[in-house]
């Protein structure tokens, strides 16, 4: 019986030679072992070919994934560089706005001072004109 497990062909041959076993139906295990062996020999190269195809497809998918990750990292680095540039521009713009606001304050102060001076000059001119008018009488 242990022969049938290790050598199914020998067990089938001994079953045909033994008259007691020859009349009995062949054991399903022996038939399955014999058929399984023939199927394995044909199925193994096909499975190997499929696995090579699967491996090639997997390799291509990994290559595409690596390329995608590489592209995304480059895009992220470019985006971070743009963000850093925009932040630097924003800082410069804020400092320009602050300096411009100081300039505007100075200009407004100067404008108020000039208006005040203009009012003083107008008042003096009006006084002079009144004095001239009073002299001509």
Report pLDDT digits (tens) over 84-123: 999 999 999 999 999 999 999 999 999 999 999 999 999 9
Residue 26 has what pLDDT? Answer: 45
Residue 98: HSE in the Cβ half-sphere, 13 Å Cα cutoff: 6
**Over the chain, what is the mean pLDDT?**
77
Residue 13 has pLDDT above 90, yes or no: no
pLDDT at 50: 65
Q: State the residue range of the domain holding 95.
A: 2-136
Other beta carbons within 10 Å of 33: 18
pLDDT per residue over 20-65, tens digit each?
Answer: 544 444 444 444 444 444 444 555 555 566 688 888 899 999 999 9
d(CA 3, CA 78): 71
**Cβ neighbours of 11 (radius 10 Å):** 21
Predicted local distance difference test score (pLDDT) of residue 55: 87
Q: With 50 as the cut, is the pLDDT of residue 12 above it?
A: no
Query: Is 120 or 15 the better-scoring residue by pLDDT?
Result: 120
């Amino acid at each position: 019986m242990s022969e049938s497990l290790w050598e199914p062909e020998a067990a089938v041959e001994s079953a045909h030679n033994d008259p007691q076993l020859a009349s009995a139906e062949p054991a399903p295990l022996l038939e399955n072992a014999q058929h399984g062996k023939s199927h394995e020999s044909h199925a193994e190269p096909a499975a190997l070919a499929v696995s090579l195809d699967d491996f090639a497809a997997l390799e291509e998918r990994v290559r595409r994934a690596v390329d995608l990750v590489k592209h995304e990292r480059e895009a992220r680095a470019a985006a971070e560089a743009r963000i850093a540039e925009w932040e630097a521009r924003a800082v410069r713009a804020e400092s320009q706005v602050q300096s411009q606001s100081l300039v505007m304050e100075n200009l407004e102060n100067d404008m108020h001072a000039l208006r005040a001076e203009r009012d003083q000059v107008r008042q003096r001119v009006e006084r002079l004109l009144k004095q001239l008018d009073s002299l001509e009488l």
